[in-house]
Amino acid sequence: ALKSGKRVMAKIQINNSWECSAVPCLPVFGLVKKHLDELKKIGVNDYFLTWTLGGYPSPIMDMIAAYNRQGDGFDLDKWYKEYFGEEAERVKKASELLCEGFEEYPFSVEKIYFGPHNLGPADRWSLSADNNLSTMVCYSFDDYETWIYPYSYENYLSQMDKLCEKWKKGAEILKESADEKAKNLSVYAEVSYIHFLSDRLHTEYAKLKRDIKANAKRLIEIIDREREITDRLLFLVDRSPIAFETSNHYFYTERNLKIKLLELDLLKEELAKRYL
C-alpha cells in the first residue's frame, strides 16, 4: 500500500484488548509505546484507536497524543512526569512490572476468544460436567482444552502464574498512591489481576473436577481462593466503571458476582459433605 502511494493506517487497541476486555485500561504504557515504535519502523504513523474495545478516556490516550505530537522526540519518562507529577516514578515502576507480566501472557486466538478471563469471577462453576463448548468472549464453561490450545495444561498454568505474580506486584505498587490518576490505574490493574487469576483457577478447577473424589481437597482450596477474589471484585465494581464492553454491554454486574459467591458456598458445602 505504501509503495502504491496509498495512505496507511493501523487498527490498534490501546486501552485494553481481548486479553482482558472488562477493564477500561490495562496500564502497560511501555508495551503500547513499543507497539507504536514498531509500526513507525514500517511506515505506519496513523491509527484507528479501537475496535469495540478501548474507547474509555485513559492516560494511554494522552500518551498516544503526546507521542504523535513529539514524533521521534517522545520520551516516555518525561511523559510520566508531565502526566503523573510526583507519582511518576511509582507509576513507571508499577507499569514496568505489569509489562513484564503481560509478556508472559499465554497468547493464542483460542485463549483470547474462548478463555474465562473476560467474565472472570462472574463465570459460573459447577461440580457436574457441563459438556458445552466455549463460546466467543463470554461463556467458557469447562472446555479448558479449547482455551489453553496450543499450550499444554502444565505450560498454560505456568505462564498464568508468571503473569499473575508480576501483575499482582505492579497493582500493589499503584495501590499505595493517594493520587487520583494513579488510584484509577490501581483499580484497573487489580481488577485485571483478579480476572487473570480467576482464569488460572478456573482452568485447574475444570480439569480436576473430572475426578472429584481424588481431588476434593484441592477443589475446595480453589473454591476458597475464587471466593476471596470474587468478594474483592464485588467491592471494586461498586467504585469504578468495570465490566462494560460495547459489543457485550456488561459482562457482569454486582448481582452476577453475588450469585457466584452463593454458588461457591454451595459447591464447597456439597464437596465437604460428599467427599471429605
Helices and strands (H and E) in the chain: how many: 10, 4
**What is d(CA 48, CA 43) in angstroms, rounded to the nearest whole number?**
15
The mean predicted confidence, pLDDT, of the chain is: 93
Mean pLDDT, rounded, for 96-119: 97
| pTM, entire model | 0.95
Per this entry, what is the length of the chain?
A: 276
Residue type, 238: D
The mean per-residue pLDDT over the stretch 125-152 comes to: 93
Nearest one of 160, 192, 183 to 23, comparing CA atoms: 192
Banded pLDDT at 128 (limits 50, 70, 90): very high
Does 30 have pLDDT greater than 80?
Answer: yes
In tens, the pLDDT along 247-273 reads: 778 899 999 999 999 999 999 999 999
Q: How confident is the model at residue 51 (pLDDT cuts 50, 70, 90)?
A: low
Average of per-residue pLDDT across 79-85: 96
105 pLDDT above the threshold of 80: yes
If you average pLDDT over residues 118-143, what whole number do you get?
92
Among 231, 26, 190, CA closest to 112: 26
- DSSP bridge partners of 17: 20
Residue pLDDT, tens place only, 166-181: 999 999 999 988 888 8
Cα-to-chain-centroid distance, residue 226: 16
162 pLDDT more than 90: yes
Closest CA to 97 of 186, 199, 201: 186
CA atoms within 13 A on the CB side of 108: 15
Nine-digit cell at 40?
513507525
Total Cβ atoms within 10 A of residue 34: 13
Phi and psi for 129 in degrees, rounded to 5? -70, 130
Whether the CB-CB separation of 63 and 98 falls below 8 Å is answered with no
Place of cell 457485550: 248
R_g over Cα of the chain: 20
What amino acid occupies position 14? I
Q: What is the pLDDT of residue 48?
A: 85
Residue 54: predicted pLDDT: 64
How far is Cα 208 from Cα 174, in angstroms, rounded to an integer?
Answer: 35
